[in-house]
Structure 1
Amino acid sequence: MATERFEDIVETFEFLDDWEDRYRHVIEMGKAFAPLDDAFKVPATKVEGCASQVWLVPTVEEGRFDFAGASDAMIVQGLIAILHELYAGLTLPEVMAVDAPAELARLGLDEHLSAQRSNGLRAMVTRIRETAAKAKA
Structure 2
Amino acid sequence: MSLPVRAQAVLERFEQARGWEQRARLLMQMGEQLEPLSDTQKAEDNRVHGCESLVWLVAEQHDGQWQFKASSDARLLRGLLAVLLVRVQGLDSRELAALDLREWFTQLGLERQLSPSRSNGLHAVLLRMAELVSDH
Q: Please state which band the TM-score falls in when normalised by the shorter chain.
A: over 0.9
How much does 1:49 deviate? 0.9
Counterparts of 1:1-137 in structure 2, within 5 Å, are 1=1, 2-135=3-136
How much does 1:134 deviate? 2.8
How much does 1:133 deviate? 2.7
Alpha-carbon distance between aligned partners in 2 of 1:39 and 1:134, rounded to the nearest angstrom: 20
C-alpha RMSD over aligned residues: 1.2
Percent of residue pairs bearing the same amino acid type? 37
How much does 1:60 deviate? 0.8
Residues 15, 109 of structure 2: 8 Å contact kept: no
Alpha-carbon distance between aligned partners in 2 of 1:133 and 1:83, rounded to the nearest angstrom: 19
Consecutive unaligned residues of structure 1, counting only runs of 5 or more, are none
How much does 1:130 deviate? 2.3
Alpha-carbon distance between aligned partners in 2 of 1:98 and 1:63, rounded to the nearest angstrom: 16
Alpha-carbon distance between aligned partners in 2 of 1:3 and 1:133, rounded to the nearest angstrom: 22
User: Alignment partner of 1:65: what SS?
Assistant: strand
Structure 1 letter corresponding to 2:69: A
Structure 1 letter corresponding to 2:61: V
Structure 1 letter corresponding to 2:9: D
Q: Deviations over 1:71-126 (max 9, x none)?
A: 00111111111111111111121111211111122112220022111111111111
Could you state the TM-score of these two structures normalised by the residue count of structure 2?
0.93
User: Alignment partner of 2:60: what SS?
Assistant: strand
Consecutive unaligned residues of structure 2, counting only runs of 5 or more, are none
Alpha-carbon distance between aligned partners in 2 of 1:109 and 1:120, rounded to the nearest angstrom: 15
Alpha-carbon distance between aligned partners in 1 of 2:19 and 2:101, rounded to the nearest angstrom: 23
Structure 2 letter corresponding to 1:101: R
State the aligned residue count.
135
Residues 96, 133 of structure 1: 8 Å contact kept: no
Could you state the TM-score of these two structures normalised by the residue count of structure 1?
0.92
